[in-house]
Structures are given as C-alpha cells and as structure tokens.
Amino acid sequence: MTFIRLLRYVVLRAASLFITVVVGVYLAILIANMGGYVDEIRKAQIREQVGATMLADQKLRTMPPNEVRRVIDQQIALEETRLGLDRPFLLRSFAYLSDALTLSLGRAERLTSDKGSRQVRDIILERLPATLLLFGTADLIVFFTAIFVALFLSRRYGSWLDKTVVALAPTSSAPAWFYGIFLILIFASVFRILPFGGMVDVPPPESALEYGLSVLQHLILPVSAILVGSLFIAIYNWRTFFLIYSSEDYVEVAKAKGLPSGAIERRYILRPTLPPIITSFAFALISLWSGAIILETVFSWPGLGRLLFQAVGLFDTPVIIGSVVIYAYLLALTVFLLDILYALVDPRVKVGGEAGRSL
C-alpha cells in the first residue's frame, strides 16, 4: 500500500515535470522561430539529405547538370511539403516540439564534437560528463557540508563561529562565477599555483592516474567558487531551520527524558526538517544549473555551459536550441530525483493524507 502510494506520487511528479519540460522547450522554439531560425535548420537538413541521396543515385550521373539541379530542387520541395514546412507555424511548432523532446536536434552549423561529429546530440553528450562532474561534486559538497556545519552551529548557537557564519551569509548575494574571477586572479594570475581554467592539462597526461590528478587540480578553483557562492547562505538557512525546530516542545521533552543529543538531532530535529531542506536544496540547484553557463565560461570548463557560450559566439542556432532543451531536461531531472528522495523522507507521502507537496 505504501509502495503504491509512493509510486503514485512519483508518477504524478514525473508527469508534472514532463509538462514543465514541454513548456520550456516550446518556449525556446517560439523564441527561436520568431526569426524563422528553426525553419532554416530544418531546411538545411533537408537540403543535405536530398543532396546526399542524389549523389548516390547512379541514374543522375548521366544527366546534364541543370537537369540534375532541377531534379534536386524538385526533391527538396517535395520533402519540404512532406515534412509540412508549408503548413502554418502553429502546426509545425508541434512537429519541432516532438523532435526536440526526442532529442533529434539536427546538425550543428559550425561546431563539431571532438570526435568530429556534427550531430548536435553527439556534441552535447560529449560535453555532459564535464558539467555533471563539476556540478555533481560541488552540489554534494555543499549539501553535506552545509547540513553538518549547520547542525554543529545550531548546537553552539551564539558562539563566535556561529556569528561569523551569520555575518558571512550576505556574501551569497554574489554568484559563483563572480567569485571565480577573484579566485582565478589570486591563485592563477598572482600565485600561479593553480590553472586558469580548462579541465585537464594540455596535452592531456597519458596515464589514467595523472589524468585524474590533473582533473582534480583543475576542479579546485571552480568548485571553491561554487562553495563560496552558495555555502554560507545554505548553512545560514539550515541553521535557522534547525534552531526553529529545536525549540519545539517535543524536542524539549526529548531533552527532559535525557536522550543523547545525537539521537535528538537525528530523530527529532533532522527528521522533520529534511523535507523543507530538500525542497530548498532543489531550488538552490536550479539556480546553480543556470549559473553554470557563466561559471563554465569564466573557467573555460568544457561543459554544456561553455558549449552554449561558444554556440552564442558562432551563432550556431541548432546547438543553442539543443542546449536549452538539455538544460530543461537537466533541471527537471534534478528536481525529479530530489522528489523521489522527498517522498522517501516525508511521512505524509508514505502514510497518505495530504499527498504531494506544495513545491
């Protein structure tokens, strides 16, 4: 019964997140297509396909050139009609939408993947691990450090350490990329002990171990930038949460019963605060993902954000739209994973009652 309720909750959330992705992608298509750019991508694709099939056609080899030209044009027109490029935009936009949602993102105009593929999907998939590595590392560190430090501080409420963290909380009004600039200036420009950017040394080291170490070395600055940008506010928020919950009556009762402080923290403070913490973590992650674009650009980190930046510079429309689609998916996926976690820790979902949360 519990399992079914959980399943129902997860499916409902998945459905609503999918709607979000659809809306986001559709918005991207609308924006991009106002200038007719999406149409151009599709037309270029058709032209290329028709050209390729015609080249392979033996019959055409013997025809005079302008006859060949005419046949090709005819084929293109036929193909365009078949794909509905002559239909009104409203109808066509749904075709694009289904293309984008199934990740058939077309071919890049200028950018290629490192392996040489011009498929937008290949380019993006190649960049995805770098982004996941950087932000996965940083997010996990922020999440766990913040929880433990916040618990520690709520126990030592009013100490100088606590006051320092509270005083440092406003630093988070500046985003991570901003601190990144300072970190680069200090550790790369002035002291020259850490690299300016990138993910590995150039040329990349041969052995796997050295490669890993080099990546680690390049990770230090961007991860620190993210930490400076979001750690203090996270600690501050959670410390406040813990303090509010630790003044509840049932905590006082537990204390009066003489339970050890570790047990009180785990059972009476952490347990009820986890759902709101996960929710706030989800939204912190969303803003992190968005900031990723600028942070990766500042650190020349070869991830999705930098790809988007490069595509902007080269005006490579298919890659830009592809990146937006991927970001929509990534955001939804992040929230979805946290939702499952939420369902696991929130007793209301398990026991029933008011299922679903107000996100």
Partner 1 sequence: MSALREAFKEFTQYPSAIMGLLIIAALIMLSIYTVIAIPYSEGMRLWRGGEDIWIENPRNARPRWVNVFLKERLPETIIVNTPPGAAKLGKPLSGGLRALDMTLSFDYLYDAFPSEINLFLKAKFKENRPYVSFFWVTPDGRRIPLGERSVRGSERFSISLDRNLAQRLGRRPPEIGLFSGPDATIENAVPLKGRYQLQLEGFFFEESSDLEARLVVYGQVHGLAGTDHRRRDLIVALLWGTPVALAFGFLAAVGSTLTTLLIAAIGVWFGRWVDAAIQRVTEVNAILPVLPILIMIGIFYSRSLWVMLGAIILLSIFSLGIKTYRSILLQVKESPYIEAARTYGTGNFRIIFRYMIPRIIPVLIPQFVTLIPSFVFLEAGLAVLGLGDPVLPTWGKVVNDAYANGALYKGYYYWVLAPSVLLMLTGAGFALVGFALDRVFNPRLRTL
Asked if 343 and 10 count as a contact pair (C-beta separation under 8 A), the reply is: yes
18-47 positions binding partner 1, by CB under 8 A? 19-20, 23-24, 27-28, 31-32, 34-35, 37
Residues 6+ apart with CB under 8 A from 95: 83, 84
- Least distance from partner 1 to the Cβ atom of residue 131, Å: 13
- First-residue to last-residue Cα distance in the chain: 24
Taking CB under 8 A as the criterion, the residue among 225, 228, 328, 349 binding partner 1 is 328
Q: Considering the rule CB under 8 A, would residue 312 count as an interface residue with partner 1?
A: yes
CA distance linking residue 52 with residue 336, whole number of Å: 42
Taking CB under 8 A as the criterion, the residue among 240, 259, 338, 350 binding partner 1 is 240
Q: How many other CB atoms sit within 10 Å of the CB of residue 116?
A: 7
199-238 positions binding partner 1, by CB under 8 A? none
Taking CB under 8 A as the criterion, the residue among 130, 323, 343, 346 binding partner 1 is 323
The candidate with the shortest Cα–Cα distance to 102, out of 326, 308, 307, is 326
Toward partner 1, which CB reaches closer, 137 or 171?
171
The candidate with the shortest Cα–Cα distance to 251, out of 276, 273, 235, is 273
Local structure of 335: helix, strand or coil: helix
- For partner 1, what does the binding mask look like between residues 160 and 199, x meaning CB under 8 A? -------x-xxxxxxx-xx--xx-xx--xxx-----x---
**Segment interacting with partner 1 (CB under 8 A) among 77-85, 113-121, 327-335, 340-348:** 327-335
Residues 6+ apart with CB under 8 A from 229: 171, 172, 174, 175, 176, 177, 178, 179, 291
Tell me which residues touch partner 1 (CB under 8 A): 16-17, 19-20, 23-24, 27-28, 31-32, 34-35, 37, 157, 167, 169-175, 177-178, 181-182, 184-185, 188-190, 196, 240, 243-244, 283, 286, 289-291, 293-294, 297-298, 308-309, 312-313, 315, 320-321, 323-324, 327-328, 331-332, 335, 358-359
